[in-house]
Structure 1
Amino acid sequence: MASTETAPPPAGPSTSSPRSSGWVFAVTIFLSAFLLFQVQLLVAKYLLPWFGGAPAVWTTSMLFFQMLLLAGYFYAHRVSARLSQQAQSKLQIALLVVTLVLMVTLAVRWGSPITPGPAWRPEDSGRPITELLQVLFVSLGLPFFLLATTSPLLQRWLASQEGEANTGIYRLYAVSNLGSLLGLITYPFLVEPNLRIMTQARLWTLGFFVYAALTAICAWHVRRNAPATPEPAAATAPLSWHDRIFWFALSMCGSLSLISTTSLVSEDMGVVPMLWVLPLTLYLLTFILCFSGLPLYRRAYFYPGLAITLVMAVLGLYRGAYLSAYAQIYVFCFSMFVICMVCHGELARSVPSPSRLTSFYLTTAAGGAAGGIFTGLIAPITFNGFYEYHVMLVMSALLVLWAMFRDDDPWLRRPNLWLPFAIVWIVALVPVYLQHVGWATIEESAMRWVQGVVIGLPVFIGLLIWLESRMNIPAAPGMWFTRSGLVFTVAFLALMLYVETTAERGKLLIQSRSFYGVLKVRERNPESREFRYYELLHGRILHGMQLQADEHRHTLTTYYTKGSGLGMAMMNHPRRKAGPIRIGAVGMGVGTVAGYVRAGDLIRFYEINPQVMRLSLGNQVVFTYLQECVGRFEIVRGDARLSMERELEENRPQGYDILILDAFSSDAIPVHLLTLEAMQMYLKHLRDEDSVIAIHISNRAVDLKPVVAGLAHRLGLQATWVTRNAFGETIAASDWIIVSRSRTTLDAEDFRKEGYPMTANQDAPLWTDDYSNLFRLIKK
């Protein structure tokens, strides 16, 4: 996470008065922190549509921000140690001048120095991580780096002027945190709803110029008051590698918690700044609380709280697909808050002396960057599923053990032999409960082992309590038993998480992961020749299935049956009776809609995920709807909106009779595909007034009907909603909205009987490229 700093708490109020320049330093640090957090949200939102609205856009952006933060802290640490303050101030001014010249140049070319022009848009997002990092570096690299150096460098300058012993310097830490927090929470509530994205970028640029002027004033004060040669370092005990590694691990775990939680929540709802801001705010709040100087972090409260939190998080993972959106946000964000409180609380307990300020910053920034590298680069390559959250939970438990063993807390020395095993027994009840209520299907061999623990441990605990009452056990063996029990508890937590990753319903045939998410193909009813089928899941959401019996392979299933809203639009379109039709489809899934294509028809898919395409094309095809399509089909690789905009720019409107928008059934709603500007673009690709847009809005977390109603009302379109209940295993509950300029198709008998004409009131939300509020649409 790009936290501006992690400074130690003040030991008490300052006894020396700051110089008259102190307020300039404070304002500069405040503004740099404000701009640092604002620009993360602004630029990530701007680039989101370029990469399909995937949750990994934010994860990769966070990696970039953390790496630059680390670079800024390293710079501040090295120049503070190697250069005189006069030389430091000159170097900082030189960097400012170079940055401002670059920003002016880019502003002339792009209209804003931090919003890259259309030429930087990826053609097909074949290398999304590399392309995103390149765009971020070109547009934001130098300004962000300069902002990242500000807080540690200016604090060091002011500390040298006021004296190393003046702990009042840490008031600037509170100022920095305030700027960070305001920059974070004002964006979704004040900036985003009221300002267009280009206006936001230009105002941010203006703020950066003000920051540059303030930094120049601070540098002038330093040059006037500082000696020309580096000050000799105060004699302090060297930092041990044990301390550095401990800080690094705590910071990495906090970063892992933030990024993996944000990805987990966004995966099932949508990738919008509001869902980035909530975890980020909680993360920053833990810094403020832990480093406030007040005794807000107490192990006696937060260690038991962490144990409960870990169990709650595991329950959330098991039950996630069935929890409401609000319940998921609460469970995972609350868990993240407690974990970060423990990580940052332990950091606050182990801070060094003020003379080691930049070294402490550098180590914690390196840990945060390591968390970003793990989630943004290593995990997508190493794991075939979203398992970094599981790694983070185990890591947080291990760090608590390390912290306790490191300090040798008195309670660890007490011979309470039974206590850790009682904790193990409570934890062991969780998978038994999950199996009992049907929330998880656990392998029989693993379940027998768990049940053995649940049955056997109470007997063992009773024996230990009896031994304690009869024997005077020395502290050393008692401490060994206690520590062993705690280690065993963590091992059992790891086992529960492993079981969660393998507790699949049905036989797992394929599981793969990419920038765009996790895909699973499962075989269901393998013993039945007639009803055996393969299903595709993106994350935890069904995205289609196909029966495998030869006589049923062409059967239309799940959301796409002839009784669905899409089926009604297909079967009742007036041009279908007159001759061939052209169909566009945003999102391919298993290719079920190709079953509607007749000889002479054409269907053109827009698909951004190459993993999805490989399941229907190539040498190892799993789903055969496309291979067996009797008409023609085409596949356009890349983000649908960018591809369709490019077609219009090249004067190639597609003239669709039916355009299917099938990208909103959870797994991170791509908001940019359902904005006013996107809908206006879709209309340009339709053949005539009778053409229709079929929008699939089946979603367990978000109700998109008001959004579509608002768009139809704004554009003067006719809209009818068709909802269907699930029937058996192969027909899923579905919600479709059919939109058209005319009522020719919507006046068909099927729509009159089964459809619900839609109207929008004045309060209907209208999503635009500049603003979209997903929270007000969350289902209770």
Structure 2
Amino acid sequence: MTSDEPRPSERSLVAGTVVLLSAFLLFVLELVTARALLPRFGGSPMVWTTSMLVYQVLLLVGYAYAHGLARQRSGRLQAVVHVVLLAVGVGIAYARLRTGALGGGDPAAMSRHPALDLVWTMLVTIAIPFIVVAATSPLVQHWQACRYPNRSAYWLYAVSNIGSFGGLLVYLVVIEPLLTVERQFMLWRLTFMVVAVALAALAIRARRFVSLAPAMPAQADVTEGLRPVRYQVLLWIIVPAGTSAMLLAATNELCLDLAVFPFLWVLPLSLYLLSFSLAFRSRAQPNGLPVGAIVTLVALVTTALSIALPAPLHMASISALLFGLCLAAHRELYRLRPAASRLTAYYLSIAAGSGVGGAVVAWLAPTCFVGYWEFQIAILVVWLGLVAATALDPQGCMRRGDTRQAGVLLGVVSYLLLTHLPERWIEVCLKVWPWGGSVAFRMSAAVVLSLLLWWGGLRRRRAAQWSIWPRVLAGVVIFYVECSMVERVRGDRSQSGRVTRNFFGVVRVQEVRHSATGIQLRQLTHGRINHGWQYVNPNLKGEPTSYHSPSTGIGRLLRLLQSQRERIRIGVTGLGAGALAAYPRAADQIVFYEIDPQVVALSVGPGAVFSFLSDCPGRTDIVLGDARQSLQAEQYRQGSRRYDVLVLDAFSSDAIPMHLLTREAISLYLAHLVQPGGVLAVNISNRFLDIEPVLADMAARFDLHALLIDSMGDSPVRARSLWVLLTRDPVILAAPELAEVGRPLGEKKITWTDSYGSPFQLLKWWNPQSRGLRMIPPRRAPKAATAPALLPEQTSVRRAE
């Protein structure tokens, strides 16, 4: 080493800094791009899932590029190729990474093929910069291994994951709250240019060491990579495929019930990356099998109760399972690492497995599954990979007969059998008395296993006899996970009715009957939340129910305006079961804006199961596409629609599409109302989010009068609803029908714009109000709707023009 050449520690510091910043940029780019795309694609949870699939594919391409480049013997060639690609990436970043390139588009075209349109948009904007940044970590590790052949370069992988984790944390805490989306892109471009210059300098200086290293030294292969390659490569793909699928499925589970916003993307992804960082530390760590068993137990129990948990516990239960299992699986993946000569192939296999897992959740699951089953399937795959990796490990608890490890597993399975094994499986498999037999079996199994544990503790000198127990107990846990998965699948399939799934979620229609009253209803469920009911009884089916019944905020408003005006025009964002179509008279018109074609098919066409629209005496229209995008297109081409009432009720499951409640969106809605007598009605009923402060800010900003009406409804099917009415005409809200049951909005205000805002500020941290279905005997049969002189016009379905 010459006098002017940096010492190894200095060069390691430079390499570590470049890898850290590259990983930081990689994940910030993921978040800001998906955040910019959310309004364009309707705020669907699948926006992030599909985006993650694109990221994983691009990561695979980046690793493949790094692997191919590392195989070139010429260091000069490696440096020239990478410097040229860096220059191209910087140029594309400055030309394409802007909100204008990501946020436009025809809403009609997007509603036909939203997933493909999302993929194409991302490929033409971020592909090259993303690939360049993704290739940094394996390339720098390869150059370090060539420069210092006697030192392990795997520590840089942990550094990379720390940088990724830091990027997620900084984006959540600093970047998103303080900067608009356009400024976020600007900051990313500037930082990328600095990193590109440093990386180019590193590549140029490393070219001589790469050329001097014709092959990896033999001693590098001796210290790492002790298992047969045929087992390694298979597990390099299976384990990350399972954890990647679990990551995306867990994110879907959270977004379906809360909202689609970066915090719920960052939380699971941060835990996923943190598990990589902890697992890839060089210091000795315990086997992952017992850790996986414990977190599987805890999380399966709590996720089964997630519908009744407050938001923090709901997030914690899913996060615990994701982090614990990923930590266990990634630790075994680290134990399966190869010699330094196969380093890039190792990372390429991990990226390929992650891509496979992402493809299953993003594309295969919405196409092949009629329910959200991928979470349970991913847990099972991770467990199978975890057990296989542990079985191949010479130091694992499965092969060395570790009494302590076996004891941990034994206690876990005892608890499972005692309290949480599905009773239906016990009844079917054992053919015993349904209740007493299952309880007796659980207690007996727990007692026997506890005695075995005590006996094994007395015989520590013969611990090798326990080598069979970890295998048996791991099999029992896998069986339990499989039972849980099959129970969920069978439960979805056994429900009578119609179930469909697409890019926007799962829609289920089924008939339910109340045992006490005998009332039969047709129920619409989107995600996990009921979004409408209709009576099957012909004498009742024309009556609006649940959140739209006459005594709710929207019901009172529509009846009031109908008593004052000869005809009214109603716009509704979100179709649901179409219950609001029960209100229009023959002279009235109602227009629904619905993004999900499968929801439209339930009310219009030969397969319709809800008759609110077909029975409506007034004119009904459906605009297919995102509500905001469609209203913008109509304003541009036709001007204001001049609605008397514009209803915001377009929420899938309990998730809130943020782009429908921003300052820019409210301004658009007001432009489509008659002035000053138009009313904006917002359904803010939600288990996890308190949306009132956002609307309070909008009322103050746009000089609107506001009233909140909290009602249980008055139909035989009751559901608590919270409606906020906003208008520039105070006389409307002063009417006794509204003023006597409403109250002003609170003093707390939170600002949301297209570029700023997070539902994290709105979380109800404890004791969320239940939105459960309540049935009571009807007081009287409602009067049948007066038939119009002529048949109502057929409902028209069109796209925004």
User: TM-score, normalised on structure 1?
Assistant: 0.88
CA contact (8 A) 1:511 1:518 kept: yes
Q: How does 1:127-166 map to 2 (within 5 A)?
A: 127-160=113-146, 162-166=147-151
For the residues of structure 2 that align with 1:230 and 1:766, how far apart are their CA atoms?
58
Q: Hey, what does 2:689 align to over in structure 1? A: 702
- Bigger drift between 666-675 and 406-415 goes to 406-415
Q: Which amino acid aligns with 2:66?
A: A
For structure 2, the residue ranges without an aligned partner over 5 or more in a row are: 1-5, 767-801
1:547 has 2:535 as partner: yes
Q: Which amino acid aligns with 2:229?
A: S
For the residues of structure 1 that align with 2:668 and 2:505, how far apart are their CA atoms?
27
For the residues of structure 1 that align with 2:158 and 2:410, how far apart are their CA atoms?
42
Q: Hey, what does 1:428 align to over in structure 2? A: 417
Q: Which amino acid aligns with 1:327?
A: L
CA contact (8 A) 2:290 2:408 kept: no
* Superposed displacement of residue 383, structure 1: 0.9
Residues 1:121 and 1:393: Cα distance change in structure 2 (over 3 Å): same
**1:105-161: CA deviation from partner (whole Å, max 9, x where unpaired):** 447xxxx3884362476634221111110000011011101111111112212331x
For the residues of structure 1 that align with 2:78 and 2:402, how far apart are their CA atoms?
56
Equivalent residue for 2:302, pick from 316, 323, 335: 316
For the residues of structure 2 that align with 1:420 and 1:181, how far apart are their CA atoms?
31
**1:667-723: CA deviation from partner (whole Å, max 9, x where unpaired):** 321011001110011000001211101100110111111111111111110000000
For the residues of structure 1 that align with 2:466 and 2:162, how far apart are their CA atoms?
46
- Bigger drift between 116-125 and 535-544 goes to 116-125
1:616 has 2:603 as partner: yes
For the residues of structure 1 that align with 2:569 and 2:649, how far apart are their CA atoms?
17
- Bigger drift between 455-464 and 589-598 goes to 455-464
SS at match of 2:601: helix
Q: Which amino acid aligns with 1:629?
A: C
Equivalent residue for 1:770, pick from 738, 741, 755: 755
CA contact (8 A) 2:704 2:728 kept: yes
CA contact (8 A) 1:56 1:376 kept: yes
Q: How does 1:589-668 map to 2 (within 5 A)?
A: 589-664=576-651, 666-668=653-655
Equivalent residue for 1:289, pick from 278, 295, 298: 278
Residues 1:114 and 1:341: Cα distance change in structure 2 (over 3 Å): farther
Q: Which amino acid aligns with 1:766?
A: T
Residues 1:128 and 1:566: Cα distance change in structure 2 (over 3 Å): same
Q: How does 1:751-766 map to 2 (within 5 A)?
A: 751-761=738-748, 764-766=749-751
Q: Hey, what does 1:5 align to over in structure 2? A: none
Q: Hey, what does 1:99 align to over in structure 2? A: 89
Q: Hey, what does 1:490 align to over in structure 2? A: 478
Equivalent residue for 1:177, pick from 146, 161, 167: 161
**1:490-545: CA deviation from partner (whole Å, max 9, x where unpaired):** 21331133223444799431122111111111211188996111111111111000
* Superposed displacement of residue 79, structure 1: 1.5
1:81 has 2:71 as partner: yes
SS at match of 1:739: strand
For structure 1, the residue ranges without an aligned partner over 5 or more in a row are: 1-15, 436-440
Equivalent residue for 2:22, pick from 28, 32, 39: 32
CA contact (8 A) 2:546 2:717 kept: yes
Q: Number of aligned pairs? A: 746
Residues 1:502 and 1:424: Cα distance change in structure 2 (over 3 Å): same
Q: Hey, what does 1:333 align to over in structure 2? A: 319
For the residues of structure 2 that align with 1:665 and 1:80, how far apart are their CA atoms?
47
For the residues of structure 2 that align with 1:751 and 1:726, how far apart are their CA atoms?
14
Identity %: 34
Equivalent residue for 1:350, pick from 336, 360, 365: 336
Q: How does 1:248-259 map to 2 (within 5 A)?
A: 248-259=237-248
SS at match of 1:636: strand
Q: Which amino acid aligns with 2:26?
A: L
SS at match of 1:71: helix
Q: Hey, what does 1:456 align to over in structure 2? A: 441
**1:36-77: CA deviation from partner (whole Å, max 9, x where unpaired):** 011100000000111110111000000000111111111111
Q: Hey, what does 1:712 align to over in structure 2? A: 699
Residues 1:114 and 1:406: Cα distance change in structure 2 (over 3 Å): farther
For the residues of structure 1 that align with 2:710 and 2:549, how far apart are their CA atoms?
12
Residues 1:712 and 1:459: Cα distance change in structure 2 (over 3 Å): closer
For the residues of structure 1 that align with 2:473 and 2:154, how far apart are their CA atoms?
40
**1:621-663: CA deviation from partner (whole Å, max 9, x where unpaired):** 1111011111111111111111111111214321100000002
SS at match of 1:54: coil
For the residues of structure 1 that align with 2:100 and 2:731, how far apart are their CA atoms?
47
* Superposed displacement of residue 468, structure 1: 11
**1:303-335: CA deviation from partner (whole Å, max 9, x where unpaired):** 444323223332233322211111101111111
For the residues of structure 2 that align with 1:52 and 1:268, how far apart are their CA atoms?
16
For the residues of structure 1 that align with 2:430 and 2:538, how far apart are their CA atoms?
38
Residues 1:648 and 1:186: Cα distance change in structure 2 (over 3 Å): same
Q: Which amino acid aligns with 1:57?
A: V
Equivalent residue for 2:661, pick from 640, 657, 674: 674
CA contact (8 A) 2:414 2:445 kept: no
Residues 1:544 and 1:113: Cα distance change in structure 2 (over 3 Å): closer
* Superposed displacement of residue 173, structure 1: 3.6
CA contact (8 A) 1:394 1:494 kept: yes
**1:186-230: CA deviation from partner (whole Å, max 9, x where unpaired):** 11211112211111112211222222222221232134x346587
**1:416-450: CA deviation from partner (whole Å, max 9, x where unpaired):** 99997875553234447x88xxxxx9997589678
* Superposed displacement of residue 31, structure 1: 2.2
For the residues of structure 1 that align with 2:347 and 2:162, how far apart are their CA atoms?
18
Residues 1:385 and 1:104: Cα distance change in structure 2 (over 3 Å): same
1:58 has 2:48 as partner: yes
Q: Which amino acid aligns with 1:628?
A: D
Considering only aligned residues, what root-mean-square deviation do their CA atoms show, in Å? 3.2
1:747 has 2:734 as partner: yes
CA contact (8 A) 1:43 1:114 kept: no
Equivalent residue for 1:188, pick from 164, 172, 185: 172
Q: Hey, what does 2:772 align to over in structure 1? A: none
